[in-house]
Structure 1
Amino acid sequence: MSTEHHFPELFGAATGVGSMPGTDAREAAKTATGALEQLPHLPELPARGPGADMIGRSAGLLVELFAQTEPSGWRFTDRPGRDTRRAASWIGEDLDALEEFTQGHRGALKLQAVGPWTLAAAIELKHGEKALADPGACRDLADSLTEGLRRHLADVRRRVPGAEVVLQLDEPSLPAVLVGSVRTASGFQRLRAVDRQVAEETLRSIVRALDAPVVVHSCAPGVPLPLLRRAGVAGISLDFGLLTERDDDDLGEAVEGGTVILAGVVPSSGTGLSDPAGSVQGVRKLWHRLGLDPELLGRRVLVTPTCGLAGASPAYARSALSQSVKAARSLADNPE
């Protein structure tokens, strides 16, 4: 399935998922741009606290919708407050650091933001229930996010004029949204499943409205690969260890249709960083099992760490990104 905005032509490339450890934006940007030459990304530093977490950070991108922290989490409010200003300030700090370390950069650059369904599953309406329970609120949230992302992309392009921007929408809650397993704000019940056609159309509307290829990332089991392809995404990012044989056919069709797969295979914690080639052995085995052209491996698969790198040490994070680059080169140089 073709997409309106295609993923950049890369070969043997790696990138990060998004979150990094620590609180130093300059150090994180230096690491991401230094280690990931083909596809650096804008680091996110959730350790800084509310507003730097994935939900608060993306809530800060919304246009004419504002959110603040409550004991239960994030909740919409009538006017911008301290939490909104803090989120905007940290994004600005991150972009300043990225701009500093991408002087003269020409090529792909990845940004991340939380997608509409995960935001709706996390942010509460003013009366206390999650936005996911209200179809009208979901539509308003998607529209606000779309406009906020347009502005965010434009800001990055002003700062890094040579960038070929890729946007990653983080949707870890999407599988739960589709099967009705998202808990209510009280935690005692579950919200009704969102119709798959509605979920698909919402994502499609965002993909079509943005002047950049869109990747959807989900680190949960049961990523809806066919739905994402129909929505027009250019790439799908997932934790490779969560795939099952039930996903084989859908993954094969995605690859043959031109979708780029960002495979989370390098451990984000522990000690499994000794063998770059071993990290991608599961990818090779899947390729062989599906009968896919080995020559496509280096072009259709990018290597990433698994989710959770924010919980690692800065030294481990640097090693994981370097390992991802080595693993991606191994996959491209030795596809068989």
Structure 2
Amino acid sequence: MKNDLSMLPLAIGSMPHMDTRAALRLIKDTMPQLPHWPQLPYRSAQEAMVNQYTFPYTKRGLVTEGEKSLVFNASLETRQEYLADVSRRYQAIIDGTPDDLSDFALPQEAALGFYDFLQELKNGELDDAAYLKGQVCGPVTLAMQISGPDQKAASYHPDLREIIVKGTALQAFWQTRTLSQFGKPVILFIDEPGLFRVSRRSSASLDKGQIIKDLDEVVAAIHAAGGMAGIHVCASTDWSLILATQTDILSFDAHGYFKSLTVYPEPINAFLTRGGILAWGLIPTTNEVFQLTAADLKVRFNEFVDILAGKGVPKELLLRQSLFSPSCGVGNCPVELAEKVYYLTAETAMLIKQG
């Protein structure tokens, strides 16, 4: 792990602002070394996390709006042709010979924060950044939110699931490559809130080996574009799944679900030993944040580290290979609350780094 990444503050991505400039000011004020582009779901329904990453399919007419959810309504033949195309293009990026991926670019109307972030980079307004952060909706979550023609989630249709995995990988590659043009290392997060459905004892009919494979295909695309990959889950899950992938960073809600991580000391040890990084979601995104100080959160972090160290996870790795974040995105929070969360995240990271 590079020393300039250790113990930095970062955020998940979603913010409640209507004005991208206000959101970017908050990001620059609190996370100048690791800024992210702001996803602003209150601006437009198109900026909601799922909608933001279905545009390659809706533009082609593969996915349409159903009564209860988005639906893959294309014929089997059309789906198979599209799957063959995205599979070929995915292999091309892995082989280092990518096609034109403009059809997988974020549309400006669905991601104004991304394009204003790029403009600030071009204007030199983010020169303090050591890294740049982006994010995509993960394939597992996306496949749970789009239905097949039979109204069952796309997760249960092998061809639809594979279309989503390959499409997400191509979007992640495009975004990582686009952010990389500014000469700063890029961290691209795969946001997987849907993985809360997967526990140690019940997989909700999802194949855990397939989940690892699907996530690793997106991770491989990010790596092929020269980026670092992170996976964020904002609740409890079977953490052994994430730790078994090739992700560089595991982002978890330490505030609400730290205990769920403590049953995996050996996978955590292996993850850290290979250079993996834990992004601790120490800062709550509820009104509780107004009752907490950075000193409180430092005490809590040290307690958590001691618990894992007591289970055999090397303390020096936990201290060195850590980042700090809110427990989840703040897109549904009032602006005042979101601002408090960001400032407290920055203060907490600084205090912990001071030792």
Which residue does 2:92 correspond to in 1?
none
Supply the AA of the counterpart residue of 1:327: T
Looking at structure 2, the residues matched to 101 and 44 of structure 1 have their Cα atoms a distance apart, in angstroms, of: 15
The correspondence of residues 142-153 of structure 1 with structure 2, limited to 5 A, is: 142-153=165-176
Q: Does 1:214 align with 2:222?
A: no
Indicate the SS of the match to 1:236.
strand
From 28, 31, 38, give the equivalent of 1:36: 31
What SS does the aligned partner of 1:309 have?
Answer: coil
SS of the residue aligned with 1:120?
A: helix
Alpha carbon RMSD of aligned pairs, Å?
A: 2.8
The amino acid across from 1:312 in the alignment is C
Residues 222-301 of structure 1: pairs in structure 2 closer than 5 A = 222=237, 224-240=238-254, 241-244=256-259, 245-273=262-290, 274-291=292-309, 294-301=315-322
Moved more, 254-263 or 14-23: 254-263
Quick one: structure 1 residues 61 and 36, their matched pair in 2 at CA, closer, same or farther if it must change by over 3 Å?
Answer: farther
- Paired amino acid for 1:32: I
- Figure out how many residues of one structure are paired with residues of the other and give that number: 310
Report the counterpart of residue 20 of structure 1 in structure 2.
15
Alignment correspondent of 2:212? 200
Q: Is the 8 A contact 1:229 1:254 kept in 2?
A: yes
Q: Distance in 1 between matches of 2:61 and 2:198?
A: 22
Match of residue 118 from structure 2: 99
The percentage of counterpart residues that share the same residue type is 21
The whole-number CA distance in structure 1 between the counterparts of 2:72 and 2:188 is 25
Evaluate the alpha carbon distance shift between residue 308 and residue 290 of structure 1 in structure 2; reply closer, same or farther with a 3 A threshold.
closer
The superposition leaves residues 133-159 of structure 1 with CA deviations (integer Å, 9 ceiling, x where unpaired) of 11121112111221122222233334x
Post-superposition CA distance 1:87-123 (Å, at most 9, x none): 7233452222212333333521111111111110111
Relative distance call for 1:7 and 1:73 in structure 2 (3 A) is farther
Q: Secondary structure at the match of 1:246?
A: coil
Aligned partner (choices 148, 164, 177) of residue 185 of structure 2 = 164
Q: Look up the match of 1:305.
A: 326
2:67 corresponds in structure 1 to 71
Task: Give the alignment partner of residue 59 of structure 1, picking from 48, 54, 65.
Answer: 54
Q: CA deviation at 1:284?
A: 1.1
Tell which deviates more after alignment, 212-221 or 198-207: 198-207
AA of the residue aligned to 1:40: P
Pair 1:275–1:8, CA change in 2 (3 A)? same
**Contact residue 237 and residue 262 of structure 1 kept, 8 A:** yes
- TM-score, length basis structure 2: 0.78
Q: 2:242 corresponds to which letter in structure 1? A: L
Cα gap change, 1:308 to 1:18, in 2 (>3 Å): closer
Contact 2:134–2:175 (Cα < 8 Å) also in 1: no
Which has a greater percent of helix? 2
How far off is 1:175 after superposition? Answer: 4.1
State the 1:295 CA deviation: 4.7
**Amino acid across the alignment from 2:116:** A
Q: CA separation of 1:308/1:200 partners in 2, compared to 1, >3 Å: closer, same or farther?
A: closer
Counterpart in 1 of 2:148? 125
